[in-house]
Structure 1
Amino acid sequence: MGMQQMIKYMEQSDHIYAMLKQCPYEILREWKLTTHAAGTVLFSQGDVQDSFYILVDGIADISVVGENGKKYVQSTYAAGNMIGELEIVDRLPFMSNVEAVTNVVLMGLKRDYFLKWLQLDRNFNEYFIRSILKLQYDILKKEGDNNLYPLHQRVCSYLLSCVPEGKKNTDGTIIIQIDKQQLSRQFAVTPRSINRILSKLKEHHIISLHKHEISIQNMDQLRLEEQMSRS
């Protein structure tokens, strides 16, 4: 991969810049760039990979499939997220599936160079440790929320979390690019369960539903719904 391409991705993402800003040149020149079409399963649960990856463009879903066959989306990754960081050191099998939601671009680094990078670059070493700890924190928090709070609260909370990435219209409504099927996978529940909650929010004029979008019409009421369903 050319250095100009590397600089381009560093300029586009603060996370990528934070990781690579002190990467030694001998490591920088070993990165490989690959592109993948939307819908591609990039990595499968149980696979063993010999490279570490950074998502530099596009969006990917991180999911697991339970014994009952249900797909549970653990997270959605965007530019700057690391892939395979938990498995690479000891060549462990991937715990999750990674699927391209949009067209994606990955930067990959072979395991030997990755381990050398950790030794040579104190900046990345610290970034890596902080990222692993944050990931563990987020996973435990999500598991705790799933056990403590009803589905209604979790759906409201998730919609609120999507607001910063939404499109704000002149009338004050906010458009979120997500549909019922995605929410069903996000919470590993049936579409009927999701539809029941969304229909109730629609009846109260909190949201409106479209084919692949949800429009938030009353942000204050959505926050109130989220708070009330905690009790």
Structure 2
Amino acid sequence: MNLKKIIKNDEKFAEIFANSPAEIIDKWEVKDYDKAEVICYQGEISDYFYYVIEGYLNIYLMAENGSKYVQSIYKSGNYFGELEIFNQQPYVCTVETLTPARIIRLQRKYFMEWIKKDHEYLLYLTKTLCDSFYKLSHKAGEDMLYSLRYRVCNYLGYKVEERGSNSQIIELQIDRKQLSDQLAVTKRSINRVLKGLSEKGIIELKNTSIIIKDIKALNKEEEISRYK
């Protein structure tokens, strides 16, 4: 498998690399990873720019006390390494596979050559970076200004919307540990909020998932919690 075959079989990547010079296309390396493998370590200096082809990746910060803060979950079409590659700075986050995954990577010298020649991609990179910064700024504001109950309801609502299901009852494959990592709070605090939502009949808790039983009530709880 090489990038040419990936482009041929996937319209998303065909569009991304539409104007990329042929000599750059040939420089991309394809890498396969098993579940729970680390691709990049926080603090490590690397010389690559990456794209996710298949699978899901966990992007997280690890504090000195061992607590984990999940910034995002990446999937096919997402890129990473862009923040560090220009000045060859240490990785801000660790990147670890949540599932078996396939990624492609490009060495810095070829990446710099690519963006000099492909102005369409440079514009795409700038726009998507701005979008990412906007979302991160919004998330940081919510983390500081709003209650944990609001943030939990907001996140569960976001995951429901991401699923795009019309079903009245939706099971999200996320456990309490993942939720505490995502929101950078203790598992005990998460349990307290989830218990309250469960007692109201809004959700049902399982060992490795959360069932949303009443989406309208969840949205209402989010709105109420926003001003508390």
CA RMSD for the aligned pairs?
1.5
Alpha-carbon shift at residue 204 of structure 1 (Å): 0.6
How high is the TM-score relative to the length of structure 1?
Answer: 0.93
Alpha-carbon shift at residue 117 of structure 1 (Å): 0.8
Aligned equivalents of 2:226, 2:77: Cα separation in 1: 33
Contact 2:3–2:30 (CA<8 Å) still a contact in 1? no
Who is 1:75 aligned against?
72
SS in 1 for 2:226: coil
Who is 1:51 aligned against?
48
- Say whether 1:196 aligns with 2:197: no
- Say whether 1:102 aligns with 2:99: yes
Who is 1:227 aligned against?
223
Alpha-carbon shift at residue 19 of structure 1 (Å): 2.0
Stretches of structure 2 that go unaligned for 5 or more consecutive residues are none
Deviating beyond 6 angstroms after TM superposition, the runs of 4 or more aligned structure 1 residues are: none
Aligned equivalents of 1:79, 1:179: Cα separation in 2: 23
Percent identity at matched positions? 37
Counterpart code for 1:21: A
Contact 1:19–1:123 (CA<8 Å) still a contact in 2? no
Aligned equivalents of 1:224, 1:2: Cα separation in 2: 46
Stretches of structure 1 that go unaligned for 5 or more consecutive residues are none
Aligned equivalents of 1:147, 1:125: Cα separation in 2: 33
Who is 1:156 aligned against?
153
Counterpart code for 1:6: I
Within a 5 Å distance, the mapping from 1:165-184 to structure 2 comes to: 165-166=162-163, 168=165, 172-184=168-180
Counterpart code for 2:205: L
How big is each residue's C-alpha offset from its partner over 1:21-78, in whole Å with a ceiling of 9 and x where there is no partner?
2212111111110000110111111111111100111101111112332100011111
Counterpart code for 1:7: K
Greater CA deviation, 19-28 or 113-122? 19-28
Who is 1:6 aligned against?
7
Who is 1:143 aligned against?
140
